[in-house]
Amino acid sequence: MSKVRLRARSATCSNGSDMTLLIRNSSGLQNQFSSNLFNRKKMKQNKYMKSAKIILSAFMLVVGISSCINSTGNKSLSEKLTVADNQEKKDSTSIIYFAGGCFWGTEHFFKQVEGVTATEVGFANGHSENPSYQDVIRKETGYAETVKVTYDPKKVELDLLLDLYFLTIDPTSLNKQGNDRGDQYRTGIYYTSEQQLPFINERIKSESLKHSNPVVVEVTPIKKYFKAEDYHQDYLENNPGGYCHINPALFKVAKDANKKK
């Protein structure tokens, strides 16, 4: 009887030990599963974090490049506008174009004026591109023989240049000055700034009061201008006996007009 109980107890103990082992194994598997699940989640989270970092880095790189491009573009545009604005101010306050018949005499006349820093002869406000002298005198290019006058406004006023200009022309003669005939010899004042226009209009108005016939001097902005061939530049200086439709006595008038007293 005691042996039977011992066996039964032993069996009971054996079954309990197995059950305990089973529970322990089950608990270990559960912990391992939880650990694996946690590791998987962590790995997936790390993967997402890496992806997010890559995306964020790419976005920041694109934004940075875009910002640099825009900054460079805006700077270039700003610099271009500044240069253009400065050039416009420089040109508009110190350059004016006079068409007064043959440009040889008109250029030589304005070269005498104190405060005129440069002169150049060319063709203005026609409709073809880069015309030659022969094109202008033989073809209908629409260009006028013109003198580009660069001046220092601190030394000579535009009003004085306009007064001197009208001494050299017949403002009522259409397409003719002296012995020269044709629309290339028309008279015209071509301005480079709206600031110059009121002075020109006022001078045209006062000139009109002096004549019974209408004043036909063309007044427009400079639209096209091409420099004439080199042999036309400073023509009367290089050819003292050359043709000139302007009374030579006026050269001295121009020279003395702006002298300091």
CB 145 within 8 A of CB 184: yes
Query: Is 13 in the active site?
Result: no
Active-site residue among 13, 68, 102, 244? 102
Catalytic residue annotation: 102
